[in-house]
Amino acid sequence: MKYALITGAGGGLGGAGAQALAEAGWMVFAADVRPGSSQNSRIVPLVVDVTSDTSVRAAVELIGQTTDRLDAVINFAGVHAMGSFVEGDIAAMMDKLIDVNLMGMVRVNRAFFAMLRAGGGRVINCSSECGYMKAQPFNGPYTVSKYAVEAYSDSLRRELLSQGIKVIKVQPGSFKTGLLVDSQASFEQLYDNTLIYKRVLTKMKPLMDREFREANDPDQVGKVLLRAVSAKHPKIRYRVKNSKLLGLMELIPDGLLDAIYRAFMR
């Protein structure tokens, strides 16, 4: 029996990953602040708050009653918010995004390291297409947190080479999850509350609506995750349904991209 811990597994991408692994015969500890339910007996829901050291330590003790090793620790716990760096309570927004998206996986990976080492397991960190693509206006707070996840994952991967523990990044695009709902809500809140960007956001809204409409099925991430945990020689990163529009922007030099934004925002 192989054992995995997945955070953010109460639904969304983490939930899809838990289902995929359980169907493949894994025993999955599905951690979330609001655990989901499953008919699969191989999925064990756990209440875990990744922003709390106490909660994470309690999860270690609870899982330790079943197994002393883990074959994978998979970090999908995350939040999303859109906002301005010069309007609103940006400090509070950044604190939350960093605490959940980055420090959550730092806490979890550190707490479960002994179990990972015992099982010769691997770490999978959920980054985002925003973690490596050019930063876009008003999505900056989330992008900063995911850039940090990229740097953390790369450094951790190289640190753990001597321990035989692989560290893998998953970089998903837009998917139909609660994170997408949060993204839509935060954009609407930004639009309603801005004092200086109303005209700009009005122009951006059709593009945002298009991205939201074209969001993908979470099951596709579950399939990729199964490959990442099973491959003898996994990739360093797995990109899943990244945005074609953002992909085109990657080809444009920064100065020219700034000029395009300047013209668009007039």
Asked if 56 and 110 touch (Cβ cutoff 8 Å), the reply is no
Site of tokens 């139909």: 176
Rounded Cα distance, 85 and 74, in Å:
31
CA distances from 20 to 51, 218, 226, 242 (A): 26, 11, 7, 21
CA distance 62 to 29: 10
Report the alpha-carbon distance of residue 97 to residue 37 in Å, rounded.
26
Residues in the chain: 266
Catalytic residue among 3, 132, 142, 197: 142
Query: Taking Cα atoms as reference points, which of 12, 17, 7 lies closest to residue 50?
Result: 7
Annotated catalytic residue 142:
yes
User: Whole-angstrom Cα distance, residue 93 to residue 84?
Assistant: 10
Catalytically annotated residues = 142
